[in-house]
Amino acid sequence: MTNAREIYGMRWSEKEYLIVLHYYFKHGGEPQHEDTVFVQELSRLLGRTPHSILYRLQNYASIDPEEKNPSRKGKVHIIEFGKKIFEKWSRKRDSLAEMVEVLLRDEKTQMEADLFNPNPVRIPVTFRNYELLDQIGEGGFGTVFSCLNLKTDEQCAIKIIDGYKIHDSECVHRFVREIRALRAISHLNVIHIYEDNLECERHYPGFVMELAEYDLSKYIHQESEIEEGRTARPILDETEAKEILLSMMSAVQSLHEASPPILHRDINPTNILRLFDGRWVLADFSLAKFMHLPPLSTSFVSGSRQGMGTAHYTAPEQYTSLRETDVRTDIYSLGWLIWELFSKEGPFPRQEPSGLPERLEKVFLKSTEYAKEARYQSVGEMREELETSLD
């Protein structure tokens, strides 16, 4: 049986980061074309495509204080690991050069062994079009990497099932169900899937999707200011908060009105993503289900979450039995999203005030009722009352 590395390739190693950084400093910054001589040289040395070498050089240029090109903002996605390497070695360039000289001896030896191979790329190219880059996150059953479309230079994300879960039939089925759910929906505020390999890969399913800049939790803390002298949860400007909330309600409504209807069952700030074009999308469908399909079990617990969901956001019936979930389960989560976006109070025990404006308090309380019969019965009903309250 093949392994995931043979199918998807390898993420960038620290050694590769260091070698490319040395070339970045040595040649005075970011080249404009992939056919630049030293880009081609690095491609042969590392067995990476010129596209990905250029991408990494652009990464460094985007965080280099000596580079002042404002049009670069938003074009690249460099992880914290890459930033730390740049910060550490930008002040020790001579030491970096000495270390890289040693690293290059091993690379040149390997390259000489492949001297008669006309294609220097030793890393597999996923789905024929994408080259694996960095690990950027984890979902319920899979790991998410950034990747590069070698035909268009577009940056994307690829989600691959975790290797230690491929022998768990329930996890594999749920991962496959996530792909099928994303295939079935097309909406501006639902993460878009470009390609998958369900038709040809049984053991290591994966799919390519849009690349995000932030999740909502990180974005809120980055963009908000804590009031002086007061401990409070950070929240966004009300106009932006309203835009995000209505976007998510529209996304969830489209899921519930699909044929067959789809439940998300894990709506929370880490699964609400901001793309580079400014759109907010709902992602991570690892707990999703089609309404006409029975759940695979009634006691599943995700490795990254307790009790089949996320604290506060998971409806009471979901903890009891997955068979009891329906559209009102997602409505419960949307209610907590109101609190997340508009209240500075927290954590919020139900016996205390929510800290929400009075006009939103009623919508929040009704959508998060313990008994699902007491909640809104559809997203449309909830949205109508919410929009009236916001106006």
Residues 194 and 78 in one domain: no
152 and 51, same structural domain? no
Compute the half-sphere exposure of residue 68: CA atoms within 13 Å on the CB side of its CA: 1
DSSP state of 176: H
Do 166 and 194 sit in the same domain of this protein? yes
Question: How many Cβ atoms from other residues are within 10 Å of residue 256's Cβ?
Answer: 18
- Domain of 335, CATH number, reads 1.10.510.10
**Spans of the chain below 50 pLDDT:** 296-307
For residue 335, being part of any structural domain is answered with yes
Looking at the structure, do residues 17 and 137 belong to the same domain, yes or no?
A: no
Residues 381 and 366 reside in one and the same domain: yes
Measured distance CA(294)–CA(291) in Å, rounded? 8
Whole-number pLDDT of residue 107: 66
The per-residue pLDDT for 89 is: 96
How many other CB atoms are there within 10 angstroms of residue 203's CB atom? 14
Comparing C-alpha atoms, which of 153, 201, 149 is closest to residue 4? 201
Do 57 and 95 sit in the same domain of this protein? yes
pLDDT of 241: 96
Give the CA radius of gyration of the chain.
24
Q: What is the pLDDT of residue 29?
A: 78
pLDDT at residue 304 in the model: 39
Predicted pLDDT at 303? 42
| 248: containing domain | 215-295+306-390
Closest Cα to residue 244, out of 128, 316, 338? Answer: 338
Q: How far apart are the first and last CA of the chain?
A: 59
Residues 161 and 41 in one domain: no
In a domain, residue 25? The reply is yes
Domain membership flag for residue 21: yes
The one-letter amino acid at 2? T
User: Is residue 205 located within the same domain as residue 219?
Assistant: no
